[in-house]
Structure 1
Amino acid sequence: MPAIGQKRTFNSKVSVAIYEFVLPEDFQDYAYEVEAKGWFSRACVQYMGRQFPLSFYDPVRLCQQVEDELEKSPVFTEPNLLVVPSVTEAAMRKAVDHAVSAGLLRTFISM
């Protein structure tokens, strides 16, 4: 289900951020598995005519992923990474709302 940003006030100016957070249609069928795994990368946000693929990790899974990657490579990178307390739909939506309202998407890579 798409999300629409809310009005936010920054530096005495009102900013309206309208975006769409997109999950696969069948996400609810396996949402419990995503939370248990602590990782999800099949979401995106559509904002200002651009589409941004997103990767979500919980802190424990991120540490595991970083350690695994550093055994194979001298560096770990993950574009459009958002770390959330738990990889649930609610936490992902909250993270995307924050990313949009805080202007973080300007540092993200779009498709």
Structure 2
Amino acid sequence: ACDLTLDLNTANTKLILSEGNRKATLVEDHQAYPDHLERFEHYEQVLCGQSLTGRCYWEAEWSGWVDIAVTYKGIGRKGRSDECDYGLNDKSWSLSCIKGRYTV
């Protein structure tokens, strides 16, 4: 499996990263993260710090609902449009897991 960590500079302010930036938790209150050009402004999303090439896989554990996505770094970060939301543009693909149902 690929050894991935999450990039705090891209994390939406409603996400808390923990366990060495390997876990993201959605919270109600915005966190006091510093402004960053790469931060997701509206959607509760975060990117990995590592870029992937070739054939890779990773494993994920979650509770509740989750979107697990693959995206190019060029995905939009500012605003509330499909250009910024995983799986709704030509820069990303997303697997949604909600209440035992999976959609792509």
Scaled by the length of structure 2, the TM-score of the pair is 0.25
Scaled by the length of structure 1, the TM-score of the pair is 0.24
Name the structure with the higher strand share: 1
Instruction: Point out the structure with max Rg over C-alpha.
Output: 1
